[in-house]
Structure 1
Amino acid sequence: MSRTGLLAQFKRTLQTATVTKPFDKVLIANRGEIACRVMKTCRSLGIKTVAVHSDVDDRALHVRMADEAICVGPAPSNQSYLDMEAIVNAAVSTGSQAVHPGYGFLSENCKFAQLLEERGIAFIGPKEKAIQAMGDKIESKIIARAAGVNCIPGYDGVVEDDVAAVTIANQVGYPVMIKASAGGGGKGMRVAWNDAEVREGFKLSSEEAAASFGDDRLLIERFIDNPRHVEIQILADSQGNCIYLNERECSIQRRNQKVVEEAPSPFITPEVRKAMGEQAVLLSQAVNYQSAGTVEFLVDTQMNFYFLEMNTRLQVEHPITECITGVDIVDEMLRVAAGYPLSYTQSDIGIKGWAMECRVYAEDPVRYLPSVGLLTKYTEPGVSHNTAELGVRCDSGIVEGSSISIHYDPMISKLVTYAPTRQEAIDHMEKALDEYVIDGITHNTPLLREILGNERFKSGNISTKFLDEEYPQGYSGGDLTPEQKSELIPSLSVLHHMKMNRTVTDGRFEYIISCDEDKVPVTVNVQKGDYTVTFEDTTVTVNPSGGVFGALQEFKLNSANTVALQHLQFDGVTHTLRYRCCKRQITVLTPLQQRFMDSMPVKVKEDTSNLLISPMPGSLSSISVEEGDEVLEGTEVAVVVAMKMNNSLKAPKSGKIKKIWASVGEVVEGDQKILEFY
């Protein structure tokens, strides 16, 4: 360790000796993984914790982790986790000295911070004025420009209506970004390339902003094409100290929602990092910022960077910064809120290693729609390997048996890997994703696994358009490449044979493997326990390693490559398995069985072309047509709200509305009929 590092460590040791803990009891005004993460740091400091929960969350993991728990209302978040009076009363009644808001919900609500202050309860975050100034994207840009921070060209006033939006968009120049003035996290944001898209985007964004933040104000700015999204983590205290903890690369996004993040950025140079960090500090000092915060920038291909917004809260992706700096950001937030100075100076902050974060969501990655239900099986990575050696961190707020609800954000966990180099961090993440078992709901690990294996991603040549450019027709679900089939087929052939024949018998055995609509003839030769598989003019020797009936099957191919077949279900004919995170239905039959199967009648798929079907469970917030109305294909006819997102449903064809099957306000199921057309 360097002399500077030793001095910093000594300083922190002295501080810990004199400051036993910032608070005796802290209430966490949140749920899920972030509530659990804050509780872990509180527990390490000897601080008792209080959980708040809705009535449907009474058995949630964050409730079980806390020392105390109190119900603050029914399932809808505006009646529970967004009910400021209920949460403040919970803090008072439990004797909590401070409240940590996590992220989302009330974390950037200045009125909430004010209510706590009036009751003599510390808000573990910045002061009210800083929240108000930076939480308003219009005001924050004015302050940023005055502080000398680079800003994106745009209109800083409030956009009154869709007519004004079109006028402003033409003045700014297309493409434009329509975005909510309050809040963040991709809510209330739309890119528009023409007048029609501006009008539609204004309507949807304002509705979504009102539902998510209670504030429907919008602003419009120039959309920087092909940018990177890079953000700077800052920490500041009440003594005037402010430091930056390097950058995070957050360019892998889908509909403005971050998917994969890493620290540091593979693009940013030390000189640009220093310039961005210093501008982030200038902005923070301009509003007398205290606590953890994140200043977000868009960076173009020439490394010009522009201020995007400041998030006045703990960021979702903060763990990767903790990995490369060794700083517990929640610990620093607690200490700052108690009035103590930062434990670090800028000279203490370096970069050690590389960290990756994958956001694991309950969603269909093909249609990008949320998924709800019960987690019937849930195993986090690291169970069968040395987690510390792999550098795997899984921040989650659920366990096997937990329920994913339509009322809240669909995040299951934040999966983080840390290693000396970027490639090693990617390698660890691929292995961790392969080990992750999630059943009962649809999830996005197949997409995450494919991103990590993408050669362009591995090269670091990424932007916010990465997913659109790599999957212009959308993510298809991870079809197997010829190379992957060459890995999978031999292993599955031997596994099937071993399960069908408990007693090893020498001989030659033939099978037909149906995989991704391909029917592959396979021959398995068994000689004294050795297995040789022949298919498509290829011969491979397979040596099974480990127990045949375990949850994780590993097979060595030619004593070199290792293929993982996870969570295999077996019924003698059909295998359901996870391979590279994708669930696949693979049938293994003898030639005679295959002939019988081919003679079976094919089930005719139901014609749903005259129906508008809800693609997900959610609340039907609006229907904009009536029975008998004529509509054109692509016209918005209904909106379903699920997991805090407004999902526009459009007419699948031109025609007349025959029947309306659902009512506004109704909670609809996935695949439920909403409208019928003539």
Structure 2
Amino acid sequence: MFKKILIANRGEIACRVIKTARKMGIKTVAVYSDADKNALHVRMADEAVHIGPPPANQSYIVMDKILDAIKATGAEAVHPGYGFLSENPVFAKKLEDLGVAFIGPPASAIEAMGDKITSKKLAQEAGVSTVPGYMGLIADADEAVKISGEIGYPVMIKASAGGGGKGMRIAWNDQEAREGFQSSKNEAKNSFGDDRIFIEKFVTQPRHIEIQVLGDKHGACLYLNERECSIQRRNQKVIEEAPSPFLDEATRKAMGEQSVALAKAVDYCSAGTVEFIVDGDRNFYFLEMNTRLQVEHPVTELITGIDLVEQMIRVAWGEKLAMKQEDIGINGWAMESRLYAEDPYRNFLPSIGRLTRYRPPEEEATPSYAVRNDTGVFEGGEISMFYDPMIAKLCSWAPTRGEAIEVMRNALDGFEVEGIGHNLPFCAAVMDHPKFVAGDISTAFIEEEYPEGFEGVTLGAPALKRLAAAAASMNMIVEGRAAKISGAMRNHMRRVDPNWVVLIGGEKFDTVVAEGQGGWDVTLEGETWRVETDWTPGMSLARATVGGEPIVAKIDVGTGGARVRYRGADMKVQVLTPRQAELAAMMPVKTPPDTSKMLLCPMPGLIVSVDVEVGQEVQEGQVLAVVEAMKMENVLRAEKKAVVTKINCEAGASLMVDDVIMEFE
């Protein structure tokens, strides 16, 4: 077996590979840019080599720098993770020439199947059903518009060397096709060093279901069931699960066998994924093959018990697969929620900064449930603008889908992240959404269910009552502590009044709180709730049982009340005396400043272009500026007709959230 491997990647996937290598007794080498010198993967590895400045095209995707690191450390093999150089056949060939093992498929398979255009042609030649599209290279935006019109809108504009949602746009008309072609081309060049673009028909109401395959160098190839990846935004997956709630056994078998046949056609070995679009009648269409480890591989590992990274390493060493197709089963259900450094309240735009608090739920594995968190960050670390915004993958497992969802709900409630915008509230909202719970989903789920963007969760009356009862009990704990003045005699302790008014979620609850043995009895609206909790003032996470049901809520106590976050809801909670509540109702509400005549920068990023001038009249929907952050271009458009009166920045400027780009009249 290899004695030392280099991981040509960063973040959580580098940490993930290091864990398995450590388990196998293999030494690891990390590589890092200036931005990652204090990163977790650097700390975890046995050795680390600096490879350049923060931009990926000056560090992580510069082959010569990776090769120099291999030579300097004597690494015998390279695991590429995903993204960066993972699907670059030139890199795999260079390793082969150097006598270093590539922990992935051969360069010929990467070239044949990793390239989206080539893989589509091969699939068509093999008789695989594919989505209609234009597989040739597209010269310019005019040709893109012409081809899109011939295919018929809507169309998907995709980077040939793409992945992870980079270089992908949906166009519904000529204007969007023209703009989407250029943006996809720019993103593809910056992310992959390859700006080739192709166009295919966009299938409405599709489900994105993929098959995990695993092959060795001796001709064996298996499929490890499927993953449902339909919860996406901007073509990037947010929540995945295995198995799919939609497939039946016959469809699963057909998709699996077709995936294996396709892999064998190119002598595929190592782990790979064949992606399909599946319509409402379970017709499936080949999309592409990812010749690498997928981000969402943990859910497959959880239902099969197979460590895919270990298998990749063993295959690269030359071992035969130790299992056969009949050995692959489905044990229970697994969910994955991707924690992104992006603000769901700002249309999921990237967020950067310091993680002032980062405390994931405890990882556990029991016969009845499991919680797993693959991460590459730590409390106090920085989230950089230079890389993908995903910072962790929270996974749950349980015997049934409903139980796996419930485990995920509790894990999300107990995940503490502060200092940056993040999508934990959105993930929590999805877990409670009736359509998701029913398995009634498609890749259009987010845009259909949140057409105006995510605005938080409004809790129903039962949840608000439970939280109100918990808040009243916690207030009694605070008041009880305050009553015990240091040095005072017991008979001089201040009596704590049992009557309190709880203001939460726009509702008002009159409560009476009585201390009982081991807990509190809270009466509100004629009903008494038993509350048990070990919470003490200063704890940021409150765990309680209210009426026999567990609650985990994040608590941030401040002046005038507390901020409480629970199941995707973010609320201010006040516990007042009856007289304080009367006076609070008379307080005026502060009016937010008017920014309707300003274009504010929605995220920290780099201004790629300013597309208007002072004095110019702009129309609704017109492009005003383009901002790049975390390898994604974001086009900012006019919300209404106006005249530009002032422009505060130019192309190349770095801006923070809410910096004023331009003003209007």
Asked if Structure 1 and Structure 2 have the same fold, meaning a TM-score greater than 0.5 normalized by the shorter chain, the answer is: yes
Once the two structures are TM-superposed, the CA of residue 505 in structure 1 deviates from its matched residue by 7.5
Q: Which moved more, 1:245-254 or 1:470-479?
A: 470-479
1:485-513 Cα deviation digits (max 9, x unpaired)? 12211211221132123259877544443
For the residue of structure 2 that corresponds to 1:182, the secondary structure is: strand
User: In structure 2, what is the equivalent of residue 576 of structure 1?
Assistant: 563
Following superposition, the deviation at residue 131 of structure 1 comes to 1.3
Q: Distance in 2 between matches of 1:375 and 1:180?
A: 33
User: C-alpha displacement at 1:312, in angstroms?
Assistant: 0.8
Aligned to 1:110: 89
Task: Report the Cα offset of residue 114 of structure 1.
Answer: 2.0
1:27 aligns with 2:6: yes
| Further displaced range: 351-360 or 34-43 | 351-360
Separation (CA, whole Å) in 1 of partners of 2:553 and 2:578? 24
Q: Does 1:334 align with 2:322?
A: no
Offset from partner CA, 1:252-293 (integer Å, 9 cap, x none): 111211111111111111111111111111211222212111
- Could you tell me which residue of structure 1 aligns to residue 354 of structure 2? 374
- Offset of residue 347 of structure 1: 2.2
Q: Which residue of 2 aligns with 1:649?
A: 636
Name stretches of at least 5 consecutive residues in structure 1 with no aligned partner. Answer: 1-20
Partner of 2:646: 659
Q: Which residue is equivalent to 1:218?
A: 197
Residue in 2 aligned with 1:4?
none
- Structure 1: how far apart are the matches of 2:650 and 2:148? 35
* Of 47, 55, 59, the match for 2:38: 59
Checking the alignment, whether the CA contact within 8 Å between 1:494 and 1:524 is kept in structure 2 is no
Equivalent residue, structure 2, for 1:615:
602
Find out whether 1:677 has 2:664 as its counterpart: yes
Equivalent residue number for residue 365 of structure 1: 344
SS in 2 for 1:335: helix
1:599 CA drift (Å): 5.1
Say which SS state the counterpart of residue 288 (structure 1) adopts: coil
Partner of 2:510: helix, strand, or coil?
strand
Residue 525 of structure 1, CA deviation: 4.0
Partner in structure 2 of residue 630 of structure 1: 617
Contact between 1:135 and 1:183, CA under 8 Å: does it hold in 2? Answer: no
1:388, 1:60 → 2: CA distance? 34
User: Counterpart of 1:501 in 2: which secondary structure?
Assistant: helix
Q: How many angstroms apart in 2 are the aligned matches of 1:506 and 1:673?
A: 53
Equivalent of 1:548 in 533, 536, 555: 536
Please give the secondary structure, in 2, of the residue aligned with 1:181: strand
2:640 is equivalent to residue 640 of structure 1: no
Tell me the CA shift for residue 569 of structure 1.
3.0
Match of 1:428 among 398, 407, 411: 407
> Structure 2: where are the runs of 5+ without partners?
484-492
The 8 Å contact of residues 510 and 521 in structure 1, kept in 2 or not, is answered as no
Per-residue CA deviations over 1:609-637 (Å, capped at 9, x if unaligned) read: 22111100011111122333322122112
Q: 1:501 to 1:571 in 2, by over 3 A?
A: farther
Q: 1:495 aligns with which of 474, 480, 487?
A: 474
Check if 1:240 corresponds to 2:240: no
Write out per-residue CA displacement over residues 8-31 of structure 1, whole angstroms, 9 at most, x where no aligned residue. xxxxxxxxxxxxx2x111000111
Per the alignment, residue 10 of structure 1 pairs with: none
Q: Deviations over 1:101-142 (max 9, x none)?
A: 100111111222122222222211112222122222111111
For 1:305, the aligned partner's letter is F
Counterpart of 1:122, as a letter, is A
Give the secondary structure class of the aligned counterpart of 1:587: strand
Paired AA for residue 273 in structure 2:
T
Cα distance in 2 for residues equivalent to 1:90 and 1:459: 49
Q: 1:538 to 1:645 in 2, by over 3 A?
A: farther
Counterpart-to-counterpart distance in 2, 1:525 and 1:339 = 68
Secondary structure at the counterpart of residue 88 of structure 1: helix
- 1:332 and 1:490 map into 2 onto residues whose CA distance is 51
Greater mean deviation of Cα atoms: 272-281 or 578-587: 578-587
Q: Single out whichever of 198-207 and 594-603 deviates more from structure 2.
A: 594-603
Pick the aligned partner of 1:343 from 322, 340, 349. Answer: 322
Measured in 1, the distance between the counterparts of 2:615 and 2:409 equals 53
CA contact under 8 A between 1:235 and 1:290: conserved in structure 2? yes
Question: Is the CA contact (8 Å cut-off) linking 1:627 and 1:659 kept in structure 2?
Answer: yes
- Compared CA separation, residues 317 and 519, structure 1 to 2 (3 A): closer
Equivalenced residue count is 652
Equivalent residue, structure 1, for 2:164: 185
Q: Which residue of 2 aligns with 1:520?
A: 508
1:400 to 379, 394, 397: 379
**Cα pair 2:457 2:570 within 8 Å, conserved:** no
2:388 to 375, 396, 409: 409
List per-residue Cα deviations over 1:533-564 (Å, max 9, x = no partner).
Answer: 444x3432333332434544333333x22322
Call closer, same or farther: CA 1:415–1:528 in 2, change over 3 Å: closer
Counterparts of 1:565 and 1:280, CA distance in 2? 43
Question: Taking structure 1 as reference, are residues 576 and 308 closer, same or farther at Cα in structure 2, changes over 3 Å only?
Answer: same
Contact kept, 8 Å, 1:634 with 1:652, in 2: the verdict is yes
Shift of 1:415: 0.9
The SS at the match of 2:562 is: strand
For 1:625, give the aligned amino acid.
V
- For 2:444 and 2:348, the matched residues in 1 are separated by 16
Check whether the contact 2:456–2:570 (CA below 8 A) recurs between aligned residues. Answer: no
Q: How does 1:26-45 map to 2 (within 5 A)?
A: 26-45=5-24
SS at match of 2:544: strand
For the Cα contact (< 8 Å) 2:113–2:119, is it kept in 1?
yes
For residues 341 and 532 of structure 1, what CA distance do their matches in structure 2 show?
63
Moved segments of 4+, more than 6 Å: 385-388, 504-507, 527-530
SS at match of 2:163: coil
Match of residue 104, structure 2, among 116, 122, 125: 125
Q: For residue 514 of structure 1, what is the amino acid of its counterpart? A: L
**Alpha-carbon contact 2:474-2:535 (below 8 Å) kept:** no
**Residue 446 of structure 2 corresponds to residue 467 of structure 1:** yes
1:528 and 1:421, CA in 2 relative to 1: closer, same or farther beyond 3 A?
A: closer
Contact residue 532 and residue 539 of structure 1 kept, 8 A? no
How has the CA–CA distance of structure 1 residues 420 and 600 changed in structure 2, closer, same or farther, with 3 Å as cutoff? closer
Structure 1 residue 154 corresponds to structure 2 residue 154:
no
Amino acid at match of 2:545: K
Distance in 2 (alpha carbons) for counterparts of 1:55 and 1:225? 43
In the superposition, the TM-score normalised over structure 2's length comes to: 0.94
SS of residue matched to 2:195: coil
Q: Which residue of 2 aligns with 1:139?
A: 118
Instruction: Tell me, yes or no, if the aligned pair for 2:502 and 2:511 is still in contact at 8 Å.
Output: no
- 1:528 and 1:46 map into 2 onto residues whose CA distance is 54
Q: How far apart are the structure 2 equivalents of 1:194 and 1:538?
A: 58
Residues in 1 aligned to 2:221 and 2:365: alpha-carbon distance in whole angstroms: 37
Q: What is residue 285 of structure 1 aligned with on the other side?
A: 264
Q: Distance in 2 between matches of 1:305 and 1:71?
A: 45
Q: 1:657 to 1:572 in 2, by over 3 A?
A: closer
After superposition, what is the alpha-carbon deviation per residue over 1:137-159, rounded to whole angstroms, capped at 9, x for unaligned?
11111101112221111111122
Change (3 A) 1:527 1:643: closer
Pair 1:303–1:571, CA change in 2 (3 A): closer
How far is the alpha carbon of 1:389 from its aligned partner? 5.5
The TM-score with structure 1 as length reference comes to 0.92
- 1:149-184 deviations in Å (ceiling 9; x for gaps): 211111111222222222222221222111111111
Deviations along 1:417-475, whole A, 9 cap, x unmatched?
Answer: 11221112111111111111111112111111111122221222221122222223322
User: In structure 2, how many angstroms separate the alpha carbons of the residues matched to 1:69 and 1:84?
Assistant: 17
Q: Shift of the alpha carbon at 1:581?
A: 4.6
